[in-house]
Each structure stands twice: as structure tokens, then as C-alpha cells.
């Protein structure tokens, strides 16, 4: 039995393998004689040498297709890898669904049905709530929408904020000054921005306050005009805190509120502002709620199983 390793460093592995390896499962069905496994940014196949050569050639066609069009649907794979492919699929639609062209050629787009709903709803509504479990891309998609709006000059600045609520730990025990204590809470927002903007450009935007990342408490008393504001981890706000944030909205602004109502770190006797908002804001024109679920999880495939196990506890 021979072995073939194909690196795909030019694209994000998830864009090729699909959420929970859904795309790779289609590939496996097309090559039943091979054992095909994915590891980080490469795919490894075992089998007969001739089958491996055929597989390598056609798998590289998948990568080329994605690099050209910025998307890879399960329905495209049999056509691209089919023995009689005439290349017509390579002349199909372009990359209109790409939200941001990120660093190192990374194409950032909505990858699931509910993420696409989030994108579509943001085009129609100035205030949007994205609610769902961990790993469903709520924050990442919201940040991509904000970066796209900034690049398209639809807004003048991006405001990213989170409540500084400890998840079973005490903020006071963290070393450093206030900024150093708060930075770990903001790190997921820095991580998302780091995928979408060159490092020097990101630092410049932060220095010039075109992009501002701050704890929720720092929002009080402000009016956010011509801004794209994202409140992350909103399940850990109180109703008054969430009201305070929402009423910061100024002219020509868009707001997205994200959170996971299954992971609330507030004291047990405290109502979550995100839960409360669903009962009082759900019928107001210009406001929409988009719900993501475990089918949208694009982290490790074990994450969806973990969430299922906890929800059935």
C-alpha cells in the first residue's frame, strides 16, 4: 500500500474539507478504494499507486477551484473530480459571497446556511442579534461584516466590545494594569481581526481609533455615529447594560449583538440581557434575530458532539 500527502497551505483547510469534513466525505465516496484522512493543513491518502496519482490530480483541482472562485459546494465536488469533467464548473459563478480577502490569501465568507442568513439580514437591518452555541461563527462573521463595511467606506470606524465577566475566575488575580487585565477578554476579537487585516494595518487602525476594542463599561455616555459596533458575549450583560449599549446607536450605524444563552456566567439570580431582549425587541422593524445551532459549528467536529452531550444532560 502506498501513501500520498497533499499540502493545502494556500487556503484554509475548512474551506476544502468542509464543516465536520462534509466535503471530504464526498471525496471519500468518489474514491472508495482509498483511505483518506485530514490532518491540519494537509490530506493523506493510502492505496494503490495509480489510484493515488488520480486522486492527487483531482484533489488539486478542488484547491484550484476554490482559489479561483472563493467557494466550494458539495454539489461541485463530483463535477470537478469527475472523470469526464469538461471544466465548465470552473467557469461558474465567481466569489461574490466572499466577505473579506484576509491575510495570506485567506477568503473569509459565510460557510453555513445560518451564517448566510446572518449576512443577508445584516444588509436589511441596522440592529441584528446572532444567538447560538460556541463555534458557530457568530463573532467571526460579524467581525467580517464590519471589516467589509470599513473597506467599502460604508462606515468610518469599528467598535468591538465585550462585558468583562469572569467565567469562574477572578479578574483581580490576573497580573498587570487595567489594560493587561482586560486584554484576555478581548483576545477573540483581536484574533478575528488578525485573520482579516495585515498586522501593520490593524495596528494603525487601532492607534488611530478607527478600530476600537474596549470593555462594555467604556461605552456609557457615548454616541456611535458612522460606526459598525459589535457586542460580543452579550449573554453576560444585564438588561440595563444591554439597553445602555443599544442606545449608543447614532446616525448611519449598524449594531450586531452576539451571544450564547447556554453559557451565561452571571450570578444565578441575575437575568441575562440577551435572554430578556428576545421578549421585548423581537417585533420591532429594523431589528432581527438570527439563530445558529450545532449544524453551524465549524470548529473541531468534536465540538458539536460536546454541545449535544451537555444539552442532553
Lowest-confidence segment of 90-94, 239-243, 261-265 by average pLDDT: 90-94
Distances, alpha carbon 156 to alpha carbons 5, 187, 205, in Å: 45, 23, 11
In the numeric block, the cell 477578554 is attached to 185
Cα distance between residue 164 and residue 162, in whole Å? 6
For 30-124, strand residue ranges (E) read 35-39, 42-47, 98-101, 107-109
Architecture of domain 99-311: 3-Layer(aba) Sandwich (3.40)
Burial 130-144 (b: 16+ CB within 10 A, else e): bbbbebbbbbbbbbb
Give me the phi and psi of 11, to 5 degrees please: -135, 165
Single pTM value for the model:
0.69
Residues linked to residue 258 through DSSP beta bridges, in sequence order: 130
DSSP state of 27: H
Share of the chain above pLDDT 90, in %: 47
pLDDT digits (tens, 9 = 90+) for 207-255: 999 999 888 988 999 999 999 999 999 999 999 999 999 999 999 999 9
- The pLDDT of residue 94: 44
- The pLDDT of residue 92: 43
Spans of all domains in the chain: 2-94, 99-311
Cβ(17)–Cβ(74) below 8 Å:
no
Q: Which listed CATH number (3.30.70.20, 3.30.43.10, 3.90.230.10, 3.30.1370.10) goes with 2-94? A: 3.30.1370.10
Cα distance between residue 107 and residue 274, in whole Å? 31
Lowest-confidence segment of 8-17, 29-38, 261-270 by average pLDDT: 8-17
Cell of 222: 457615548
Give residues with Cβ within 8 angstroms of 83, minimum separation 6: none
CA 122 to chain CA centroid, nearest Å? 14
pLDDT over 70 (residue 53): yes
Please name which of 121, 120, 126 lies closest in space to residue 286, comparing C-alpha atoms.
126
pLDDT over 60 (residue 271): yes
Share of the chain above pLDDT 70, in %: 86
User: What's the mean per-residue pLDDT of the chain?
Assistant: 85
DSSP state of 249: B
- The pLDDT of residue 14: 86
In the numeric block, the cell 500520498 is attached to 4
Mean pLDDT of 268-293: 94
Residues linked to residue 100 through DSSP beta bridges, in sequence order: 108
pLDDT digits (tens, 9 = 90+) for 147-196: 999 999 999 999 999 987 654 445 455 566 556 666 777 888 888 999 89
Amino acid at each position: 500500500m502506498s501513501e500520498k500527502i497533499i499540502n493545502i497551505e494556500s487556503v484554509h483547510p475548512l474551506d476544502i474539507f468542509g464543516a465536520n469534513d462534509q466535503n471530504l466525505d464526498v471525496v471519500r465516496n468518489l474514491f472508495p478504494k482509498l483511505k483518506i484522512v485530514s490532518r491540519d493543513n494537509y490530506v493523506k491518502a493510502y492505496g494503490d499507486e495509480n489510484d493515488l496519482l488520480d486522486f492527487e490530480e483531482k484533489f488539486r483541482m478542488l484547491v484550484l477551484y476554490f482559489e479561483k472562485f472563493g467557494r466550494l459546494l458539495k454539489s461541485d465536488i463530483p463535477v470537478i473530480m469527475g472523470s469526464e469533467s469538461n471544466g465548465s464548473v470552473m467557469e461558474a459563478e465567481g466569489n461574490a459571497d466572499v466577505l473579506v480577502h484576509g491575510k495570506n490569501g485567506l477568503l473569509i465568507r459565510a460557510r453555513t446556511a445560518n451564517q448566510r442568513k446572518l449576512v443577508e439580514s445584516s444588509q436589511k437591518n441596522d440592529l441584528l442579534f446572532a444567538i447560538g452555541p460556541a463555534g458557530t461563527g457568530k463573532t467571526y462573521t460579524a467581525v467580517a461584516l464590519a471589516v467589509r463595511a470599513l473597506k467599502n467606506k460604508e462606515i468610518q470606524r469599528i467598535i468591538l466590545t465585550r462585558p468583562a465577566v469572569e467565567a469562574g475566575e477572578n479578574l483581580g488575580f490576573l497580573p498587570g494594569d487595567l489594560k493587561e487585565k482586560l486584554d484576555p477578554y478581548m483576545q477573540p476579537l483581536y484574533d478575528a481581526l488578525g485573520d482579516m487585516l495585515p498586522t501593520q494595518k490593524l495596528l494603525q487602525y487601532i492607534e488611530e481609533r478607527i478600530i476600537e476594542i474596549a470593555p462594555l463599561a467604556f461605552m456609557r455616555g457615548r454616541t456611535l455615529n458612522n460606526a459598525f459596533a459589535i457586542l460580543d458575549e452579550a449573554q453576560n450583560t444585564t438588561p440595563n447594560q444591554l439597553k445602555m449599549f443599544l442606545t449608543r446607536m447614532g446616525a448611519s450605524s449598524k449594531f450586531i449583538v452576539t451571544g450564547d444563552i447556554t453559557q451565561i456566567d452571571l450570578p444565578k439570580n441575575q437575568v441575562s440581557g440577551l435572554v430578556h431582549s428576545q421578549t421585548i425587541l423581537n417585533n420591532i422593524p429594523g431589528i432581527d434575530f438570527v439563530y445558529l445551532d450545532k449544524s453551524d459549528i465549524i470548529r473541531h467536529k468534536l465540538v458539536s458532539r460536546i454541545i449535544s452531550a451537555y444539552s442532553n444532560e
